[in-house]
């Protein structure tokens, strides 16, 4: 699934192409893509039509567009268009005359008759939802419990370190907890742990504060570098709003690199099953934690 860098690439593209535009119509071609909207396609169309797209925001891996009335450019935000990209969702800005994509699920047209916004999703795990917002930051209700990410200027690194140490689980499991530190998925967790020289099974209770800080700095660095490269694209499903792929996969140190030499020490990278996925690590740079004897 897309992680913070891939979602931020999409956010920036949307901010460039759709802000300030007023929605004219909404067309839904697959009901699964609006299953999170209680009233389905009808409600999505009613809540979007006539609204102006005012700002594109992100928290961790979650992306949304703030909606406003045409005559109310500076008023309070009361609703947001929340995008769930799932495993294959794409938000594309396309000329109206361009042929429809094979897996087009939702089309949003604007009253300027310019390029339209299309939601394309091969596996239909994702979707779009108009939702209410809550709190002083006007967060979409489904996102209100999500923590900040290491690239957020307001990220509380010391608080996150304390949260990691209190989790009483394996370090990677804690790092994937989006309520604690958001934006990190399987790819960047492995890359961050490699940079910090920490094993993914390290008990969080044994993590020192300097180690925790080192890990979060590494996470911020690797995701910043991935963002600069347009994200990580292993196939055509991970693209920006123009349909272009990122190329950070060329710089991955351990993720997907089983049996290849560690870039730091040359030891072959290992892989192990992890939560129905895989973990990749260097057995020399990231030694497995010693098991405690009771």
Binding residues: 103, 123, 167
Catalytic hit among 209, 277, 287, 288:
277
| Active-site choice (21, 58, 61, 214) | 61
b/e map 209-235, b = 16+ CB within 10 Å: eebbebbbebbbebbeebbebbbbbee
Q: Is 140 a catalytic residue?
A: no
Q: Which residues are annotated as a binding site for DNA?
A: 103, 123, 167
What is the rounded end-to-end Cα distance, in angstroms, of the chain? 39
Q: Is 11 a catalytic residue?
A: no
Active site residue 36: no
Count of C-beta atoms within a 10 Å radius of residue 30: 16
Beta-carbon-side half-sphere exposure of residue 24 (alpha carbons within 13 Å):
9
Cα 194 to Cα 189: distance, rounded to the nearest angstrom: 9
| Whether residue 148 lies in the annotated active site | no
Active-site hit among 2, 5, 115, 140: 2
In three-state secondary structure terms, 269 is coil
Here the tokens at position 84 are 């769930």
The catalytic site residues sit at 2-3, 61, 277
């Amino acid at each position: 699934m897309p992680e913070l860098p891939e979602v931020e690439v999409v956010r920036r593209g949307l901010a460039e192409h759709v802000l300030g535009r007023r929605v004219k119509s909404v067309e839904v071609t697959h009901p699964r893509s609006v299953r999170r909207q209680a009233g389905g396609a009808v409600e999505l169309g009613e809540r979007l039509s006539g609204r102006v797209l005012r700002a594109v925001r992100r928290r961790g891996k979650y992306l949304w567009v703030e909606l406003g009335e045409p005559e109310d450019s500076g008023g309070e935000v009361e609703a947001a268009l929340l995008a769930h990209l799932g495993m294959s969702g794409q938000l594309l800005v396309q000329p109206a005359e361009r042929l429809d994509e094979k897996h087009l699920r939702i089309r949003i047209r604007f009253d300027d008759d310019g390029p339209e916004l299309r939601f394309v999703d091969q596996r239909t795990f994702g979707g779009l939802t108009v939702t209410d917002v809550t709190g002083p930051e006007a967060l979409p209700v489904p996102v209100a419990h999500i923590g900040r990410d290491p690239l957020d200027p307001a990220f509380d690194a010391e608080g996150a370190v304390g949260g990691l140490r209190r989790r009483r689980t394996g370090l990677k499991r804690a790092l994937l907890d989006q309520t604690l530190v958001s934006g990190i998925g399987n790819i960047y967790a492995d890359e961050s742990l490699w940079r910090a020289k920490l094993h993914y099974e390290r008990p969080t209770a044994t993590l020192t504060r300097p180690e925790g800080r080192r890990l979060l700095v590494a996470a911020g660095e690797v995701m910043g570098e991935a963002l600069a490269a347009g994200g990580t694209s292993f196939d055509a499903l991970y693209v920006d709003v123009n349909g272009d792929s990122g190329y950070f996969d060329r710089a991955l140190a351990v993720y997907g690199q089983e049996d290849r030499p560690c870039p730091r020490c040359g030891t072959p990278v290992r892989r192990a099953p992890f939560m129905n996925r895989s973990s990749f690590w260097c057995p020399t740079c990231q030694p497995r934690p010693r098991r405690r004897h009771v």
